[in-house]
């Protein structure tokens, strides 16, 4: 739904805030695919954090299930 909304508004001032923890929650085991589907052109901000998807918790980068380095690499593709 976010992709459709961003595309419909069609403004450089209306973009997504990618939260690495939320990407893991929205697409368990496929945060990379979630980010690729969203597309870097739709991302205006990034919330980089470590954490766990269940229970949903933000933690320091490098802790928990979220591999921030791996997800940053997807953004550079």
54: confidence class by pLDDT, cuts 50, 70, 90: low
Q: Is the pTM of this model over 0.85?
A: no
| Mode of pairing for the β-strands spanning 50-52 and 43-47 | unpaired
Is a pLDDT exceeding 90 seen at residue 76? yes
Is a pLDDT exceeding 80 seen at residue 56? no
Model pLDDT for residues 24-39, shown as the tens digit of each residue: 888 888 999 999 999 9
Q: How far is CA 69 from CA 12, 17, 31, 37, 55, in A?
A: 27, 18, 12, 19, 22
Is a pLDDT exceeding 80 seen at residue 47? yes
Domain boundaries, the chain: 2-76
The two structure tokens encoding residue 1? 């739904």
Give pLDDT, residue 75.
94
């Amino acid at each position: 739904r976010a992709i459709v909304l961003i595309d419909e508004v069609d403004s450089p001032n209306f973009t997504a805030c990618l939260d690495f923890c939320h990407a893991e929650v929205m697409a368990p085991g496929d945060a990379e695919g979630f980010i690729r589907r969203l597309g870097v052109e739709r991302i205006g901000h990034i919330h980089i954090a470590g954490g766990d998807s269940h229970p949903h918790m933000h933690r320091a980068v490098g802790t928990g299930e979220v591999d921030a380095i791996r997800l940053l690499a997807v953004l550079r593709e």
